[in-house]
Structures are given as C-alpha cells and as structure tokens.
Structure 1
Amino acid sequence: MTERPVIGIFGAGKVGTALARLLVDAGYRVLMSGSPRQTALDLLVGVVAPGAEVVAPEVLAAEARIVIVAVPFGKAGSVPWPAFDGRIVVDAMNYWPPVDGNIAEVDDDPRTTSEQNAARNPRARVVKSLNHLGYHEMEDDSLPAGDPLRRALAVVGDDDEARAEVAALIDAIGFDPVDGGALAHGLALEPGHPAFGRELSAAELAALLTPVAHLAA
C-alpha cells in the first residue's frame, strides 16, 4: 500500500475537526493549527479529533503535503499563504456575505473566490473542494467505495496532479470524487450556485459542472 501523504488543516472549527476525524480514521497523519487566540487548542483537538496533532503553523506548512484551509472566509488573509510554495492547498472556504459582510474587493472581482485565494501565492497548487458539503454531513454521508448511495464531491484546480491527489483523499474519506477541471469551474461549488449543498451522485455532479466548464472556456 502506498504511504498516505501528511495532511495539514488550518482551522480547528466544526469543518476542520470533522475532516480531521475522517482523515485519521482513513489512516492519514493529520496536523492541525488554529487561531492563535484560541486557548487550549491541544485539549480541544484531543477531545473532538483524537489522533490529530496540534502544531505551529510553520510546522504544518513545512510537513504537510496537502494543506486544507478551513477557516472562516473573512480570516483567509491570516493564513500563511507565502509558506505554501509547492504545496497542494485545498480551499474549503465559502464566502458568506450574511456572516462575512459584503467585501467590496471580493464582490467586484470577476474571478471565483478560489482564484482570488490562489493569487495570494501563485506557487501554491490550489484546489477547490470540500466546501460544498456541510460539516454535519461529512461523517453522516461517508460511505464505503462502491456503495450505490455514495455522495460525490467535486475537485477543481489548474494542476492535474494536485486534483488527482485530492481526489484520492476524497475517495479515502468516503465520497466519490468528480474531476471538475480548471479552478474557474469552482463557481458551481460556491454558495448560491448549482452544486452547493446538494446530495448528488458522481454522474449528477459531473453534469452540473459541464455547463460551467463551457462558460469558463
């Protein structure tokens, strides 16, 4: 069996800890970093995500091959993007104006939010995924490979190898990965767009991503 890559998760909230539990159960080594203002992070992670390791952000960036960013969108700027050179970075965030407020520079930018985040470090290999699934559904909907009721999750990004590695991770935690192509196609996965929050099979999700691919071409 091929050794699984080390996974880093920035954000120890409900999304980050749910993903950590799934990944630890699937046999991954999981490193986590949270807000520097969050007290007793070691205790929290030990209780809600046993098996995950709390480390400093610089250690996570250095040791993890795949980094999942699962902080509130408004705090994306606090993530150490310059440290992610060469790393596969999964943008699992969502821009929620009711929560984040309307951010003018985001609203006025024609790019998807993941393209905007990718511009924070062009040397990072940014992939959009895991954002169109609620944290409460992550463990409830995880099913073994081959189960006809298995839910699909999309992977979009401009790096083919990065998409393939994240697809393998998604399969390992109990979902059918769907390759959605370029990072710009992540528009379909954002709040208010076709795939967000919907329980879809791989075929259904692929069909929803196809028109977005045509528009972005």
Structure 2
Amino acid sequence: MATLGIIGAGAIGTRLAQQAITAGIDVVLANSRGPETLAETVAQLGARARAATPAEAARAGDRVVVSIPLAAYRQLPVAELAGKVVLDTSNYYASRDGRLPRLDTGELTTSELVQQHLAGAHLVKAFNSISDHHIPALARPAGAPDRTALPIAGDDPQAKADAAELISRLGFDTVDAGPLSESWRFEPETDPYVLPYSADPDAVMASWERLVEALRNGNPPQLPAPDPGAPLPAARLRALLAGASRKLTADRMIA
C-alpha cells in the first residue's frame, strides 16, 4: 500500500492522516476549499503528506477515506473513486445535514446512500463510531493485549478485507457487522457508538446531555475535556453489535 487518499481534512481525516504516516503510508489530503488551505496541516504532518483536490486525492489513493459532512456527499468525485475501496466515516445529523427522508425512515443507512452516489466504488463503513481524539489514544500494534476493535460494514467481502488490513496498520482490530444495510448497528446513539471507547462513559453522556440542553435553550455550548479513552476488545464489540437497537433520527437525542 503506497498511498492513502483522504477526502475531508476535519478532525477524523487529519487524525487518520497522522496514523497512516506513523505506519509508513503516504497521504494525499483534500478538502472542499482547495489545497492551498491545507499548507499548515501538511507541514505539520511532514514529508509523507501532500495536499490536493478531492479528485486528485481519489486518483492517488490505493485506498481512500471519505470523511466529510453527509450533506456534501454528492460532491464526491464519482469517476475518480470508481473501482476503489472507500472507507466512509460519515454520520447523519439532520440539524447539520438537512432532512433526508430515506434516512429518517430507515429505508437506507447513511453508507447505503453514499454507496448509491459512488456506484462504481467499493464502500466500507468505518471510523464513524469512535471520537477523533480516541484514534491516537487507543491505536496499538497488532497483537497488543489492549488492542481496540472497530466495527466495519460493507457489501463487498474483498473490500472489507482490504479495509481491515488498512485499519490494522492504523492500529486497530476490526469486527465485521455485515453488509451496509446493517451499518445502522454502529451509527449515532447505538450501543457500540463512541461510549464504549470512553474511560468514563457516564461523564461523556452527561456532557452530551448538557450540550443538547444548551443548544435547545440557545446558549453557547461548552465542549468537555477529551476523555482519555479505554480499550474495547473485539469480543465486547461483537456483543454490542449483536444487541444493538436501531435509532432512527426522531428517536435520537441529537437529531
């Protein structure tokens, strides 16, 4: 694996870029505002990173991470991602992304929607269920006793195997949650989402509740200090996925 393309230079995208570089993988990083706006980020990442347009990052990557707000999914370069294994980190928040009725009703999962747009790509849902600051905190070498597992889902078995290989190099085991139609099992506010990776899940949940209350009252939200994280072994993640209940948009605390 020579190069990882990353479309989306937000918190998750930049964390994954750093993990890839640490693992000896070159990175081509893109955002929606142009390569020149990534000069500082690329300088911090070092010589293995370069900035590009989304289409260039898609062409350059042996595998490509897509980490953008869901509202922008139609801007992804379809032709350049055709035939590629694409790791999709997206989550749906109607308050940010606008109402998408097929997601609100559960007709589709988020990644099924993205896959329909990227019809020629091999989509794998990954890295959407862990907080960005937990990625470097919990990454461990293969075989480490405290290695953390992440869920993945996809319709192409080979693509999932390729994604699992990449994720392993980035520091994590994987648990296969099934096809994209089952990826709801680790979408927002399900049992495997974010909290199991937290050292103090109760404190994290209380912070979410305070954030929601502030937003509802029109008050400035106060962001909590990052939780240090706690390892989540594959067996525990597998049990959480099996017991997950689907949370449609209307049932969620943060819609």
Pick aligned residue for 1:83 from 68, 80, 83 = 80
1:160-204 CA distance string (max 9 Å, x none)? 111011101111111111122211121111002121112231011
Shift of 1:42: 2.0
Could you tell me the TM-score, scaled by structure 2's length? 0.75
| Distance apart, 1:209 and its partner CA | 2.8
Partner Cα distance (1:59, 1:35) in 2: 12
Name 1:209's counterpart in structure 2: 241
Inter-CA distance 33–99: structure 2 relative to 1 (3 Å threshold):
same
Sequence identity (%): 34
Separation in structure 1 between the aligned mates of residue 135 and residue 178 of structure 2, nearest angstrom = 23
- Does structure 1 residue 68 correspond to structure 2 residue 100? no
Change beyond 3 A, Cα 1:83–1:109: farther
8 A contact 2:35–2:53 mirrored in 1: no
CA distance in 1: counterparts of 2:33 and 2:236, whole angstroms? 41
Structure 1 residues 108 and 181: alpha-carbon distance in aligned structure 2, compared to 1, 3 A threshold: closer
SS of corresponding position for 1:31: strand
CA distance in 2, matches of 1:37, 1:106: 30
Aligned length: 208
* C-alpha contact 2:115 2:123 (8 A) present in aligned 1: yes
| Distance of 1:193 and 1:124 partners within structure 2 | 27
Deviation at 1:44, TM superposition (A): 2.6
Q: Which residue of 2 aligns with 1:143?
A: 140
* Separation in structure 1 between the aligned mates of residue 148 and residue 98 of structure 2, nearest angstrom: 31
For 2:242, the aligned partner's letter is T
Relative to structure 1, the CA distance from residue 74 to residue 11 in structure 2 (aligned partners, 3 Å threshold; closer, same or farther) is: same
1:53 has 2:50 as partner? yes
Structure showing greater Rg: 2
Partner of 1:9: 6
- Confirm or deny that 1:134 pairs with 2:131: yes
* Candidates 146, 167, 172, aligned match of 2:164: 167
Counterpart of 1:203, as a letter, is: A
2:75 corresponds to 1:43: no
Q: Is the 8 A contact 1:66 1:88 kept in 2?
A: yes
Amino acid across the alignment from 1:96: Y
> Structure 1's 129 and 38: CA in aligned 2 closer, same or farther, altered over 3 A?
same
Superposition RMSD in Å: 1.9
Q: How far is the alpha carbon of 1:120 from its aligned partner?
A: 0.5
SS in 2 for 1:139: helix
| Alpha-carbon distance change, 39 to 109 in structure 1, aligned in 2, over 3 angstroms | farther
- Under a length normalisation based on structure 1, what TM-score does the superposition of the two structures give? 0.88
36-45 or 138-147, larger mean C-alpha shift: 36-45
Alignment deviations for residues 44-95 of structure 1 (CA, whole Å, 9 cap, x no partner) = 3212x22311122222222212111111222222221342110111111111
Cα deviation 1:77-116 (Å, max 9, x = unaligned): 2221342110111111111234334434532451111001
**Partner-residue secondary structure (3-state), 2:24:** coil
Contact 1:157 1:163 in 2 (8 A): yes
What's the counterpart of residue 152 of structure 1? 149
Point out where structure 2 has 5 or more consecutive residues left out of the alignment.
198-231, 245-255
Q: Which residue of 2 aligns with 1:96?
A: 93
Secondary structure, counterpart of 1:67 in structure 2? strand
C-alpha distance in 2, partners of 1:37/1:175? Answer: 31
Partner SS for 2:29? strand
Specify the alignment match of 1:117 in structure 2: 114
C-alpha distance in 2 between matches for 1:38 and 1:96: 27
2:181 corresponds to which of 158, 181, 184: 184
Question: Does the 8 A contact of 1:145 with 1:175 survive in 2?
Answer: yes
